[in-house]
Structure 1
């Protein structure tokens, strides 16, 4: 018991770098274009949906400790085809999220050529992962301190000087739920602690029972403060047009000298968040290969290359705002399936009541279907194509295996 507070702090510190990514650095611009100041109350809905989904993944991770991520949980609870749909939604959401994080990095670090900067980040982070680099608790704590410290400076600067009167306001309250869906993706790094990777020590239910609400609550407070600061300093109309809101808020607040610090924080947060996204997608591909839905001979290096290639393709094809929308929609579909499978867990496997999974399922579907139409259509199409390709791969492998087993065994001549 004496070590529990330290374990809680360590667990929260481990999850924060996966959360403080594209959402806090770039998400407020497309959100403000839709809902203006209503993005702030929308964050509360996003946080509630994330909290329920975090509870569901934590319970399922405890019930299936040898299965990594939502794809495995859904396959064990709901069956093969729902699991394939879950994997497809997850991979689509992760590819778009990787693009969003990378484009955020490019907008802050290489504003003249953001796509080039984004591609460089994808390559660099992939190489770091291939070299065996991991965000340990100590490294994660250092990243959290750097990023939170810079965000605090941005908020203080935004409230220290009266803003220039803005001309007009963007957004409407009618987009409140859609913006809640868009900002949901800012919270989704919680799986870093609720569903540990293979070989990592799982966190105890007693620790997670406190660490999950603390992580989501702290993230919500940070997003709320930063969102209020940049909205106050830029106004919703100017914010909606900003490719790098935190940088532009500092310039507007006569604190341009702090812009290099924001660039450092964006770089650190970008590497940390993208590393989590790539590892998470790799884990789903590994699960598909192990279960026979993909060729079982695929080596980890090939899977890593596939993840990096999909992320790079998403960087080239999608602008930042669309990437954020597709990331949110794909991820919400993924958590809809994950919450649905959590509903049928046995009572002995539960730390939280079934009602949280039911609420998470309902919110995931509602928020996904309230997102901007282009993002929703791309996500639905990607979900269908991805599920079909996974099913086709499994069918081809089953057919080839059947032919090999049915073919007569040849014997050497003369025997």
Structure 2
């Protein structure tokens, strides 16, 4: 089948708003604090790990079109308990990512009260989703144009003016792998096209074979350009201390007049990225209820409220760097299970060779275990608690069902 460039461009445009979120606007600060200029080569490792995971989810999405998402794939391929661990890792990562996006929005748009601004974004985006608003291809294209246009202005300004000599450099090459893990989450929005939500038209294997590398490659080029620009203008030491690197780079480059445009782009990107994050977490919770791992009486609105409340708590108690680290760790654990599931998927017409799933599995584990210790400990604790609660809830539901069945049988026997 012949695929037109328009289909490929539309697919890439659909995925970009889910990728260009907190990472490109604020992720370089904690990354520079760990590795300095080494964050730039680390991006290549992040992008390669994301590429492998994207192909794995694309293959499984076609094999299981009705369930969608890593939880469903792992349950079908590896069993119940690995699926529960996958769901827990995904929810931990999505909640922390929602907090990171909200904090980024607050820092840029409501700098005097960033936490309040982040909470307002959470509520607003959840209400938009509940009202039925969706990021169609047209809306996503508009968002992509706005965000990419502003990022291009930031890069141009950063390289147009000679920077003030830096007061020092931070980070070492020893943290390169850890920073690659931290920045992996910046590429994780690829599921917007590799695993469409229910009701959305899936993309054909031919389109995805081209669109996935283009999406990841374009995102990598954008991140590389923005990272190089802010590092050049601020230096790694100053960048590491900045909650709003793009704004500070413009001010340092004598381009403060462009700051309102950055605020607009941060607002637009924040809404788009958070919409995808909330929808992704909602899909996993829906899968858990449908399979009986959570109470089936929970409505869609209640599931959304659970995610929003958890993300709001994370906004209040976590600084941005911690939220981004937990988001990265939880997401990497999630893709470790997803790649493991793709590795045993028997499918002839794969989007990419099976070896990519093996590489994705190995890289996901390596990057997750190289992240800062606090983020890793919080993620592991969340994974353990979440898996235990899901298992306990399922066991209690089975026990109550068995008790009702026994009572019904006893009543039937008594009547007879």
What's the TM-score bracket when you normalise by the shorter of the two chains?
over 0.9
| Change beyond 3 A, Cα 1:414–1:367 | closer
Change (3 A) 1:414 1:243: closer
| Per-residue deviation, 1:350 | 2.0
What is the DSSP-based 3-state SS (H/G/I as helix, E as strand, rest coil) of the residue aligned with 1:347? coil
* Structure 1 residues 10-159: aligned runs within 5 Å: 10-159=10-159
> Which residue is equivalent to 1:257?
257
Deviation at 1:4, TM superposition (A): 2.1
RMSD of aligned residue pairs (Cα, Å)? 1.3
* C-alpha distance in 1 between matches for 2:308 and 2:24: 23
The equivalences for 1:346-365 within 5 A come to 346-365=346-365
Is 1:276 the equivalent of 2:307?
no
Separation in structure 2 between the aligned mates of residue 349 and residue 308 of structure 1, nearest angstrom: 38
Report the equivalent of 1:167. Answer: 167
Q: Aligned partners of 2:92, 2:349: CA distance in 1, in Å?
A: 29
Q: Identify the residue that residue 341 of structure 2 maps to in structure 1.
A: 341
Deviation of residue 305 (structure 1)?
Answer: 0.8
Report the CA distance between 1:274 and its aligned residue: 0.1
What CA distance in whole angstroms lies between the structure 2 residues aligned with 1:3 and 1:59? Answer: 18
Shift of 1:230: 0.1
TM (norm. structure 1) is: 0.98
Q: Would the alpha carbon gap of residues 121 and 414 (structure 1) be closer, same or farther in structure 2, given more than 3 Å must change?
A: closer
Match status 1:210 vs 2:213 = no
What SS is found at the alignment partner of 1:55? helix
Distance 1:344 1:352 in 2: 14
Task: Show the counterpart of 2:332.
Answer: 332
**For the residues of structure 1 that align with 2:201 and 2:116, how far apart are their CA atoms?**
37
Compare 260-269 and 310-319 and name the one that shifted more.
310-319
Instruction: Identify unmatched segments of 5+ residues in structure 2.
Output: none
Corresponding residue of 1:382? 382
* CA–CA distance in structure 2, aligned partners of residues 65 and 21 of structure 1: 27
Alignment of 1:228 with 2:228, yes or no, is yes
Does the alignment pair 1:294 with 2:297? no
- Do the aligned partners of residues 108 and 357 (structure 1) sit closer, same or farther apart at CA in structure 2, a change above 3 Å counting? same
**Aligned to 1:259, what secondary structure does the other structure show?**
helix
Structure-1 residue corresponding to 2:247: 247
Cα displacement string for residues 377-396 of structure 1 (whole angstroms, at most 9, x for unaligned residues): 00011100000000000000
Cα offset, 1:74, TM superposition: 0.2
Which digits, 9 at most, give the CA deviation of each residue in 1:155-211, with x for residues without a partner? 000000000000110101000000000000000000000000111000000000000
Once superposed, which parts of structure 1, at least 4 consecutive aligned residues long, lie more than 6 Å away? none
Equivalent position of 1:238 in the other structure: 238
CA contact (8 A) 2:3 2:206 kept: no
> Shift of residue 302 of structure 1?
0.6
- How many angstroms does 1:317 deviate by? 1.3
Unpaired runs of 5+ residues, structure 1, are none
Deviations 1:44-63, CA, capped at 9 Å, x for gaps: 00000000000000000011
What is the CA-CA distance between 1:2 and the residue it aligns to? 6.1
Q: How does 1:168-207 map to 2 (within 5 A)?
A: 168-207=168-207
Cα distance in 2 for partners of 1:107, 1:342 equals 38
Question: Following the alignment from structure 1 to structure 2, what is the Cα–Cα distance between the partners of residues 334 and 241?
Answer: 30
Indicate conservation of the 8 Å contact 2:281/2:307, yes or no.
Answer: yes
Q: Any conservation in 1 of the 2:208–2:351 contact (CA below 8 Å)?
A: no
User: 1:95·1:314 contact (CA, 8 Å) conserved in 2?
Assistant: yes
Shift of 1:349: 4.9
Take 2:192 and 2:16, find their aligned partners in 1: how far apart are those partners?
Answer: 9
- Residue 304 of structure 1: how far off its partner (Å): 0.9
CA distance in 1, matches of 2:184, 2:133: 28
Separation in structure 1 between the aligned mates of residue 415 and residue 227 of structure 2, nearest angstrom: 82
Shift, 1:3, TM fit: 5.1
Query: Offset of 1:352 from its aligned partner?
Result: 1.4
Q: Determine if the alignment matches structure 1 residue 392 to structure 2 residue 392.
A: yes
* Contact 2:78 2:341 survives alignment (8 Å): yes
Aligned to 1:320: 320
How many residues were matched structurally?
A: 415
Q: Hey, what's the Cα distance between the residues in 2 that align with 1:245 and 1:99?
A: 18
Instruction: State the TM-score, normalized to the length of structure 2.
Output: 0.98
Q: What SS class does the counterpart of residue 201 from structure 2 fall into? A: coil
Q: Does the 8 Å CA contact 2:125/2:271 hold for their aligned counterparts?
A: yes
Cα 1:160–1:344 change in 2 (3 A) is same
